[in-house]
């Protein structure tokens, strides 16, 4: 019988969510056992102690922010342990900065190379927007996200300016919660459109994404005082979409032009059967990517030559949040509430969780209510497992051999497929088409894993990205042209 061999390794790692689990999973994937693991802080005062296998010099990493690094001391055991193989695998993780190990009887340190230096910014040539043609409606559309603000300017259906303003996490944290960011984001938008030669006075309407309002029917709504009051409540203010209507109103009011929201995330057309949960006092809610799902459903209807109001679709929006809706004859009769924790896990959210283990966590005394809400809404899913919600980063991890990252993204596709199958059952198996949309639809690996399971249920279409800006413009334009009556929120 071969005696297991023990080895020691020291790691310098970044302090990010999930780093301990990622390191441990990589070691176990090689068939090694972890027999001892210690974690300590890393600072310039570090001195070798009894548990230190190799000393990593602080000056080698002086550019790292204080408190951003930790040390791990790990004892591993395996019959065919090759420490160099352990080190090579661990250095593939972007959270591992250095690995200390024994080589040739000497203590050495292997460091991660910076393979992706930050490119130098190049001066960008400013392209001015064309003059506004006669008999044209000029519409500004605004779609805020958690760390970005998308906006576009249209002359009727023609886009003349489109931008994605990406905000640094540290800047937003310094400004404060969602509602306190409105002036900052509004000023960013106005600066950009004026730099493009678009005078705010040339606008005819502003159309923003709607937030967590009371449940309403689908449509284009005039932003009213009642709507703004509801958007300023604590419940509505937890989602960045609340800023869409608020910023739209603040830009439109001094210009004496209308501000609209189109198909906000609280559109509720669910059947009565879909509301009950099995627990009296808790009812299912309709909170989903209504704007993009409705827009994509209309695109699919055009492709198959059938009016949206006469068709039956399953639409899956695949982004930081994932919602899958059953569209029957122009109404979304069932959909998972992704924000509250229903449905598949996502790049940021936990999805449906077994209830009793979650209850045990609530009463464990280890977490506050706010921490558990964050685990469900923003620090769960892919971010919880891998420390990142960026699909491109995860694809790079997979390409470099990270088997656990592959398992996470494939499991997410598996759960999306299950939800699509559930919505096919809601539609009694009669489905004209299935559509995948959102940022994750750019990933061939992700959409391919879903196709493999559901493409026999109905014709399947993929629309990477989203049509939200076009949908915001379209709703406002239909009202301005008199083709649709404006809805009033009361």
Say whether both 482 and 450 belong to one domain: no
Those residues with Cβ within 8 angstroms of residue 304's Cβ, 6 or more apart along the chain or in another chain: 311, 432, 433, 459
Name the domain count of the chain.
3
Say whether both 167 and 251 belong to one domain: yes
**Euclidean distance between CA atoms 273 and 277, whole angstroms:** 10
| Residue 207 domain flag | yes
| Residue 274 domain flag | no
| Residue 120 domain flag | no
| Residue 283 domain flag | no
CB 314 within 8 A of CB 420: yes
Those residues with Cβ within 8 angstroms of residue 40's Cβ, 6 or more apart along the chain or in another chain: 70, 71, 73
Say whether both 320 and 444 belong to one domain: yes
| Residue 279 domain flag | no
| Residue 276 domain flag | no
CA 420 to chain centre: 19
DSSP 148-179: EEEEEEEETTEEEEEEEEEPPHHHHHHH-SGG
Say whether both 36 and 104 belong to one domain: yes
CB 10 within 8 A of CB 46: no
Say whether both 450 and 393 belong to one domain: yes
| Residue 121 domain flag | no
Say whether both 96 and 207 belong to one domain: no
Three-state SS string across 81-125, please? CCHHHHHHHHCCCCCEEEEEEEECCEEEEEECCCCCCCCCCCCCC
**Euclidean distance between CA atoms 288 and 437, whole angstroms:** 13
Last residue of a domain, one of 75, 110, 145: 110
Say whether both 316 and 429 belong to one domain: yes
CATH of the domain at 98: 3.30.70.260
Say whether both 488 and 378 belong to one domain: no
Say whether both 353 and 405 belong to one domain: yes
Last residue of a domain, one of 76, 110, 144: 110
pLDDT at 210: 85
**Euclidean distance between CA atoms 321 and 73, whole angstroms:** 36
Say whether both 408 and 440 belong to one domain: yes
**Euclidean distance between CA atoms 292 and 284, whole angstroms:** 21
CB 344 within 8 A of CB 416: yes
Place of tokens 């695998």: 89
Dihedral sign computed on CA atoms, order 372, 326, 328, 301? positive
Say whether both 142 and 240 belong to one domain: yes
pLDDT at 57: 44
CATH of the domain at 436: 3.30.420.40
Residues of the chain with pLDDT under 50: 1, 44-66, 114-122
Q: What is the span of the domain harbouring residue 190?
A: 130-266+467-490
Q: Is 398 left (phi over 0), alpha (psi -120 to 50) or beta?
A: alpha
| Residue 365 domain flag | yes
Say whether both 345 and 234 belong to one domain: no
């Amino acid at each position: 019988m071969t005696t297991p061999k023990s080895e020691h390794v020291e790691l310098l790692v970044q302090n990010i969510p999930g780093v301990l689990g990622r390191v441990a999973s990589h070691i176990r994937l090689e068939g090694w056992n972890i027999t001892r693991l210690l974690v300590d802080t890393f600072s310039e005062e570090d001195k070798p102690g009894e548990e230190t296998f190799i000393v990593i010099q602080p000056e080698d990493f002086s550019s790292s922010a204080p408190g951003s690094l930790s040390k791990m001391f790990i004892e591993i055991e395996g019959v065919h342990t090759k420490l160099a193989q352990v080190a090579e695998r661990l250095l593939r993780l972007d959270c591992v900065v250095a690995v200390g190990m024994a080589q040739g009887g000497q203590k050495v340190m292997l460091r991660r190379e910076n393979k992706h230096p930050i490119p130098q910014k190049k001066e960008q040539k400013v392209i001015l927007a064309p003059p506004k043609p006669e008999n044209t409606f000029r519409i500004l559309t605004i779609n805020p996200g958690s760390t970005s603000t998308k906006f576009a300017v249209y002359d009727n259906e023609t886009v003349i300016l489109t931008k994605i303003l990406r905000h640094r996490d540290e800047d937003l944290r310094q400004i404060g919660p969602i509602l306190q960011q409105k002036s900052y984001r509004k000023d960013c938008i106005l600066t950009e459109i004026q730099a493009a030669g678009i005078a705010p006075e040339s606008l005819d309407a502003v159309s923003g994404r709607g937030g967590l309002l009371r449940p309403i029917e689908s449509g284009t709504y005039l932003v009213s005082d009642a709507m703004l009051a509801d958007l300023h409540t604590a419940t509505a203010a937890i989602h960045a979409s609340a800023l869409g209507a608020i910023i739209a109103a603040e830009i439109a009011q001094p210009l004496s032009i209308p501000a609209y929201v189109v198909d906000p995330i609280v559109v509720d057309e669910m059947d009565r059967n879909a509301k009950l949960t099995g627990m009296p006092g808790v009812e299912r809610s309709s909170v989903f990517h209504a704007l993009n799902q409705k827009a994509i459903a209309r695109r699919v209807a055009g492709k198959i030559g059938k009016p949206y109001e006469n068709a039956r679709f399953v639409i899956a929006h695949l982004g930081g949040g994932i919602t899958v809706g059953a569209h029957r004859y122009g109404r979304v009769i069932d959909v998972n509430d992704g924000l509250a924790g229903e449905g598949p896990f996502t790049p940021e959210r936990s999805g449906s969780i077994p209830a009793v283990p979650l209850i045990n966590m609530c009463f464990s005394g280890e977490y506050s209510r706010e921490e558990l809400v964050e685990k469900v809404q923003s620090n769960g899913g892919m971010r919880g497992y891998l420390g990142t919600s960026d699909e491109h980063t995860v694809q790079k991890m997979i390409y470099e051999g990270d088997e656990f990252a592959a398992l996470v993204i494939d499991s997410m596709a598996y759960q999306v497929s299950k939800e699509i199958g559930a919505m096919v059952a809601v539609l009694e198996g009669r489905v004209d088409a299935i559509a995948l949309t959102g940022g994750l639809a750019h990933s061939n690996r992700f959409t391919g894993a879903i196709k493999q399971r559901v493409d026999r249920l109905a014709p399947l279409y993929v629309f990477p990205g989203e049509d939200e800006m076009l949908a915001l413009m379209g709703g406002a334009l239909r009202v301005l042209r008199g083709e649709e009556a404006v809805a009033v929120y009361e």
